[in-house]
Every structure is written in structure tokens, then in C-alpha cells.
């Protein structure tokens, strides 16, 4: 069994990496976006974002003041062994990260709005577990900003409307969001399953690197069509007009009941923070998201 202290330390390291350094695919996509813009305002916004990203890295400060609600994805290999103690270690690591980096304490009680002060609380940090082949544990830190998470939409589309119904719901969601989620965004789309699964797939799709298409050609085509359409709206960076409203669209699907067609949209801002590492049975740690 892997030493839980190792997981606690890794939690701090992954959160630090996530909030300070954006993954390479995101940075490159923002660079390309700047080249595609023609208006001064859009270009100025993207230059400010890129300069901000560079400063955050060199000054070792969080890239955005909203360091998010703390979310993790955990893929446990069947051969990894026991995960006992790991949730506690991650919560401990989250508290330490809040102090040490520092992170902005964002976790509040939903009714009293009282801030826990350390980014933990009921169900928080949020842990999304799945099981995979292999003898490792893969952990992704995914701190999620409030401004973009607020731009989440769900609809039980009529199955008879088919793919046109899905497209219309996604495009209307993006248009109604305007500049609020700090575009250029990444749009996560979850199709099918039950309502809760559709929302989860929408969020999970945001883990996929920019530019990587779905393996199913039909879904890949949907992603491309939606991206093209979104970037025709003219919303642009920060909603101040321009050619790049989204950097990518990622969709995931599940089979669903013959009577229903759940569709969910989850929005990610330009500060698309994620950091992933693999922990092997022997305690070896490998950072996957940020190549050195």
C-alpha cells in the first residue's frame, strides 16, 4: 500500500502546479487565438491573458485570484491495491495547499454562506472516482472557478429533435453566457445517460487536452461543428467581441433511455487549470500534465 503521506504531499504539489501553471495545450491554444484575432480589444485581452500567464509562472503566483472549488478526478487501477486513507490525505493536502500556496478559501456552507476557511467541507474537496485497468492511481487536480462553473446548463431535449436539438441547446447556452465565464472558454458537453451522468460527462470532457477529438467520428464532427458555430457568434475574448469565443468543444456520451435525451453543458474559463500525476504501487510518482 502506498504511504498516505505521499498522497498528501502530492495533493499539495498538484494543486500548486494547477493554479500556477496552465497546461501546455491551453497556453498554445491561447497563443493561436491571439493570432486569429483582428480587433484591438480582442488582441489586447489575449495579450493581457498571455502576459498574466507568464507572470504567474515567473512569480510563482496563482494565475487567477479565484483559485476555484477544489475538485479531483481519481482513476484507480484494479491492481493498485487499497485506497484506504486516501480521501483523508487529499483533504489534508487541500488544507495545506490553501495555507502554503496560498489558495483563496472559497468553500462556504450553501445556506449560511459561512466560509470554512480551508477549502474543505461537506463533500469538498470533491472526489470523482473511477476504476481502470492497471496498477497505478491517477490523480487529477481540477480547481474550478466560480464564474465559469456558474455557466452550467442542463436540458432534457426531446429525443425527436435529435442532433439539431443538442446543437441548439449548446449554442443557446454559450450565447446566453456571453462574457461571464471569461472567454475564450472550453465547452464541455455531456450527452445521454441519466441527468446526473450527463453533467458529470460534461465536466469530465474538460479534462481532455485542447485539440484532441473524440474517438467516435460522429461525436468528433459534432465537436468541430459546435466549435465553428460558437466562434461565429462574435462574443469573443471576455465577451468584448472577436473571432475566438471558445478554444475547443469536448463532448462525451453515454447510452440513455429510449424516451430521453439529456444534454449538459459545463463551461471552463481560459484559466483552464488541471494537473495530473500517476502514483505506482511502489510509490513512484510521475507527473503527466506538465512536461519538464
Partner 1 sequence: MEYRLKTPISESDVRKLKIGDIVYVTGVMVTARDQAHRRALALHKEGKPLPIDLRGGVIFHCGPVVRKKDGEWEMVAAGPTTSTRMELFQAEFIEAFRPSIIVGKGGMGPRTAEAMKKFGAVYCDFTGGAAVLAAKAVERVRGVEWFELGIPEAMWILEVKDFGPLLVTIDSHGNSHHANVAKAVEENKPRVYSMLGVSK
Task: List residues binding partner 1 (CB under 8 A).
Answer: 40-41, 44-45, 47-49, 51-52, 55-56, 59, 61-66, 102, 104, 145, 147, 164, 167-168, 171, 175, 178-180, 182, 225-226, 228-229, 232-241, 269-271
CB of 89 to partner 1, least distance (A): 26
User: Which among partner 1, ligand SF4, none contacts residue 10 (Cβ within 5 to 8 A by kind)?
Assistant: none
Judged by phi (left if over 0) then psi (alpha if -120 to 50, else beta), residue 241 lies in: left
- Alpha-carbon separation of residue 148 from 19, 86, 137, 156, 238 (angstroms): 15, 29, 28, 22, 12
Question: Is 69 near ligand SF4 (CB under 6 A)?
Answer: no
- Count CB atoms within 10 A of the CB of residue 100: 12
Judged by CB under 6 A, the stretch of 26-34, 118-126, 211-219, 267-275 that binds ligand SF4 is 267-275
Report how far residue 131's alpha carbon sits from residue 129's, in angstroms, rounded to the nearest whole number: 7
In the list partner 1, ligand SF4, none, the entry touching 210 (Cβ below 5 to 8 angstroms by class) is none
Question: What sign results for the dihedral spanned by CA atoms 169, 42, 186, 247?
Answer: positive
What is the smallest separation between the CB atom of 137 and partner 1, expressed in angstroms? 31
- Does 271 bind ligand SF4 (CB under 6 A)? Our answer is yes
The dihedral built from the CA positions of residue 94, 99, 100 and 104, taken in this order, carries a sign that is: positive
Which residue's CB is nearer to ligand SF4, number 48 or number 132?
48
Closer CB to partner 1, 7 or 247, in the complex: 247
Stretch that binds ligand SF4, among 37-45, 145-153, 202-210, 276-284 (CB under 6 A): 145-153
Residue 105 is a binding residue for ligand SF4 (CB under 6 A): no
Q: Are 131 and 75 spatial neighbours (Cβ–Cβ below 8 Å)?
A: yes
- Cα torsion angle, 126, 289, 188, 60, sign: positive
Question: What does the buried/exposed string (b/e) look like for 212-237 if buried means 16 or more CB atoms within 10 Å of the residue's CB?
Answer: ebbeeeebeebbeebbebbbeeebbb
The rounded distance, in Å, linking the Cα atoms of 185 and 179 is 10
Residue from the set 85, 87, 147, 178 that interacts with ligand SF4 by CB under 6 A: 147
Q: Which of 23, 93, 125, 145 binds ligand SF4 (CB under 6 A)?
A: 145
Is residue 222 within the footprint of ligand SF4 (CB under 6 A)?
no
Residues forming the site for ligand SF4 (CB under 6 A): 64, 66, 145-148, 181-182, 269-271
Amino acid at each position: 500500500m502506498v504511504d498516505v503521506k505521499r498522497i498528501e504531499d502530492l495533493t499539495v504539489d498538484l494543486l500548486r502546479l494547477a493554479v500556477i501553471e496552465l497546461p501546455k495545450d491551453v497556453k498554445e491554444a491561447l497563443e493561436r487565438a491571439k493570432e486569429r484575432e483582428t480587433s484591438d480589444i480582442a488582441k489586447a485581452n489575449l495579450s493581457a491573458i498571455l502576459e498574466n500567464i507568464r507572470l504567474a509562472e515567473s512569480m510563482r503566483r496563482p494565475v487567477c485570484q479565484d483559485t476555484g472549488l477544489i475538485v479531483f478526478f481519481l482513476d484507480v487501477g484494479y491492481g493498485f491495491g487499497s485506497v484506504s486513507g486516501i480521501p483523508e490525505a487529499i483533504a489534508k493536502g487541500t488544507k495545506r495547499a490553501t495555507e502554503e500556496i496560498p489558495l483563496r478559501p472559497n468553500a462556504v456552507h450553501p445556506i449560511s454562506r459561512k466560509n470554512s476557511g480551508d477549502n474543505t467541507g461537506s463533500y469538498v474537496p470533491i472526489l470523482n472516482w473511477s476504476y481502470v485497468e492497471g496498477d497505478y492511481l491517477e490523480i487529477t487536480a481540477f480547481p474550478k472557478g466560480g464564474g465559469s462553473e456558474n455557466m452550467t446548463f442542463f436540458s432534457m431535449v426531446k429525443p425527436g429533435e435529435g442532433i439539431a436539438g443538442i446543437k441548439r441547446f449548446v449554442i443557446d447556452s454559450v450565447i446566453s453566457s456571453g462574457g461571464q465565464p471569461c472567454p475564450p472558454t472550453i465547452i464541455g458537453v455531456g450527452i445521454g445517460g441519466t441527468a446526473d451522468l450527463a453533467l458529470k460527462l460534461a465536466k469530465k470532457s474538460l479534462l481532455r487536452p485542447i485539440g484532441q477529438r473524440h474517438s467516435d467520428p460522429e461525436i468528433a464532427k459534432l465537436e468541430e461543428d459546435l466549435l465553428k458555430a460558437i466562434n461565429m457568434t462574435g462574443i469573443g475574448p471576455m465577451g468584448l467581441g472577436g473571432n475566438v469565443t471558445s478554444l475547443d468543444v469536448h463532448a462525451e456520451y453515454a447510452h440513455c433511455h429510449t424516451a430521453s435525451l439529456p444534454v449538459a453543458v459545463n463551461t471552463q474559463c481560459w484559466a483552464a487549470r488541471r494537473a495530473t500525476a500517476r502514483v505506482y504501487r511502489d510509490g513512484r510518482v510521475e507527473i503527466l500534465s506538465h512536461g519538464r
